[in-house]
A and B are shown apart, each in its own frame.
Chain A
C-alpha cells in the first residue's frame, strides 16, 4: 500500500528538475543570443565607421592638395588627423588578428602623425615642399585604394549577410569558411597595398626614423659575452655575487634598439628566487639597466639621504655632472630622475633613473638606456634671446618660481629652451620658450603629491 501511494514521487521530482533545467537553459540561450546580437551590432558599427573615416581621410587629402590657402590647409589637415586616428582606433577594436591589420594601422597612424607635422610646418610659416606634396599625393593614392577595397568588402559582406561574430563563433562551417575567405582576402589585399607605402620622411613620434633610431652614446668597440659578464659582476660588486647566468638570445638579437647581453645575477645569502637582472650593451660594454626586485620593508631613510646615496652611486659609476630632478616614491623605494648638465644647460634627453631602497639605502634599480640612446658630444648654441625677452613670451600672470636654460627633445631633434617653472591658477606647470626663436615650444603640467612628482 505504502509503495503504491508513493510511486509518483520520484518521477514528479525528476520532471520538475527537467522543467527547471529547461527554463534555465532557455534563459541562458536567450541571454547568449542577446549578447551575441549586441556584440555583432558593435562590430558592424565599427566596420561602417572605419569605412566612413577612411573615406573622409581620402576626400580631405585630395582637398588639402588642391587648396592654396594656408588656413584652409591647416583645417583640412587637422580633420585628416582626427579621421585617421578614429579609423585606426576603431580598426584596433575589430575582431581581426594583428597580423592582418598591422600595416594598415601603421598607415593610419602615420597619416595622422604626418598631418600633425604638416600643421606645425604651416604654423611656422614654412611652405609645403615638393617632397611633402609628393608624400601627400602618395598617401591620398593609398587611402583611395584602401577605401575602394573597403567599399568592395562592404557590398560583398552586405550581400552575404556576413556576421563578424562568425569570425570566432562555431557556426555553419561552410558559410563561415566562405565568409572568412572573402574577409581575409580583402584584408590581405589591403595589407599588401599598405606595405608598398614608401617611408615618410618627417619628424613625429610614429615616424620610421624615430622608431629605428640608433643609440648615439655607445662606442663602436664590440664586447664579448665573457667581458660583458665580468662588467655586470663588477657593476654589482664582485664580492656580493654567488653565480651568474645569461638569458638565451634569439637569432635576431642584434635587431633590438640597443643590442645587449642580459644577465641574471644571484647575490650571496639570498633565496634562489631573488635575482638581480642586468643588461650590458654589446657595443662599448656599458650597463644599460639593472633591476633588483628584492622586497623592501618599510624604512626610514629620508628622501634627502637617499638622493645623496644615488648621487654617490652615479659618481662611483663614472657619471659626472648629473643633476637630480624629480622623484617618485613607491613600494618602499624612491626613484630619482637624474639628467646631465653641461655648461649650465640641463640636458633632459640624457636621463638616468636610480632607485634607492629606503630601508638600507641600497641601489635597487638603475636605468641609463635613455642616456646611452641620446648622449653625444653636443655643440650647444648660444641663446639668441635673453632670459628677460623669453619671459615676455610667457603669460604675465604665470607665477614663476625658477628659470634656467635646458635642452629638451623635440621629435628626433633637441631644442635649446628657457625653462620657466611656476604656477598658474593654483596648478603647477613648466613652460619652455625656445632660446633661439622665442617660440613657446612646450608646456608640461606637474602633478605633485606626497609621493613625488609626475609630469603630463
Chain B
C-alpha cells in the first residue's frame, strides 16, 4: 500500500515537472504557418515566371533534382523537380514553392521590388490589427470585429492617442486583451478579413474612439463618453 502511494507520488511529481517545462512546439509552428498562409509574400507554382523561379531552378540544378535549363519559367520539368525535392525532404508534396519549400531550398521569396521599394507593405499593421481584433472581439458579429479595427485606426488619426497602430494597440491600460496576453493568439480568418476591411476604410462606427462592454467595463470614466451605437455586445462612443 505504502509503495503504491510512493510510486503515485513520484509519478505525479514527474508529471508536474514535465508540465512545468513543456512548451508546445507545434503551437508556434502553427502560428507561423497561418501567418504565412495569409500574409506570405509570394508563392511559385506552374506557370509562374521571373527571377524567383530562376533562383529555385538554379538551386534544383545545383542539387541535381533538375536537369535542364535555368530559364525562369515554372514548367513541367521544374514542377516534377520540386515534387522530387519535397518528397526527399519530408515536405508536403504539392509541386508548389511556398515559404517552407523555399526555406528548405535556402531561398527567400520576394516580389521583384526595386531597392527603394523593398519591404514597404501593410502586412505588419494588418497582422497586428487582426490580432487585436481576435483578442478583443472574438465571438462578436463580423461587423463588430471591423468596428474594433476601425476604432484602433480612428485612434491613430486622433491627436488624443499615439500616432501608429502599434502605439495605440500597446498603449498601457488601453486594451484588456493586450494586458492579459490574448493579443498573442493566432488570429482566425474572420479577424484577418475584418482587419483588412478596416484598413481599407470601412468604419461601421463613423469615427468612434472608444468601445466598452457594459457587462465587464470596470472604469466609471468610460460611461462619461458620448454613447453612439451598439454593435454586438459593445457600446461605441466618442
The docked-state distance in angstroms from the alpha carbon of A10 to that of B215 is: 50
Size category of the B interface is 35 or more
B230 surroundings in chain A (CB, below 8 A): 247-250
Q: Is B204 close to A, CB under 8 A?
A: yes
Q: Is B29 close to A, CB under 8 A?
A: no
B172 A95 Cβ-Cβ under 8 A? yes
Q: How far is the CB of B136 from chain A (nearest CB, A)?
A: 15
Cβ-neighbour of B115 out of A9, A17, A367, A426 (below 8 A): A426
A98 B116 Cβ-Cβ under 8 A? no
A106 surroundings in chain B (CB, below 8 A): 159-160
B116 A96 Cβ-Cβ under 8 A? no
Cβ-neighbour of A109 out of B17, B146, B159, B226 (below 8 A): B159
Produce 1/0 per residue, A89-106, CB < 8 A to B: 100111111110011011
Chain A interface SS verdict (over half): mixed
The docked-state distance in angstroms from the alpha carbon of A20 to that of B9 is: 14
B206 A258 Cβ-Cβ under 8 A? yes
A277 surroundings in chain B (CB, below 8 A): 142-143, 204
A447 surroundings in chain B (CB, below 8 A): 113, 117, 120-121
Given A250-B237, A427-B116, A96:B172 Cβ within 8 A = yes
Could you say which of B57-65, B73-81, B91-99, B194-202 contacts chain A?
B194-202
Q: Is B88 close to A, CB under 8 A?
A: no
Report A156-199 residues with CB < 8 Å from chain B CB: 168
A85 surroundings in chain B (CB, below 8 A): 163
A20 surroundings in chain B (CB, below 8 A): 13, 17
A205: nearest residue on chain B (CB-CB)? Answer: B157
Given A89-B167, A205-B157, A249-B229, A289:B202 Cβ within 8 A = yes
Residue among A20, A105, A168, A251 with the highest chain B CB neighbour number at 10 A: A105
A250 B159 Cβ-Cβ under 8 A? no
Q: Is A262 close to B, CB under 8 A?
A: yes
The docked-state distance in angstroms from the alpha carbon of A10 to that of B171 is: 52
Could you say which of A141-149, A226-234, A299-307, A327-335 contacts chain B?
A327-335
Cβ-neighbour of B160 out of A103, A168, A249 (below 8 A): A103
A370 B111 Cβ-Cβ under 8 A? no
Cβ-neighbour of B162 out of A88, A249, A275, A428 (below 8 A): A88
Cβ-neighbour of A10 out of B5, B143, B159 (below 8 A): B5
Report B190-238 residues with CB < 8 Å from chain A CB: 190, 192-194, 196-197, 200-208, 219, 221, 226-231, 235-238
Given A10-B6, A250-B226, A105:B160 Cβ within 8 A = yes
B208 A95 Cβ-Cβ under 8 A? no
B229 A253 Cβ-Cβ under 8 A? yes
B200 A252 Cβ-Cβ under 8 A? no
B157: nearest residue on chain A (CB-CB)? Answer: A205
Produce 1/0 per residue, B47-88, CB < 8 A to A: 000000000000000000000000000000000000000000
B167 A92 Cβ-Cβ under 8 A? yes
Produce 1/0 per residue, A263-293, CB < 8 A to B: 0100000000101010100000000010101
B122 surroundings in chain A (CB, below 8 A): 454
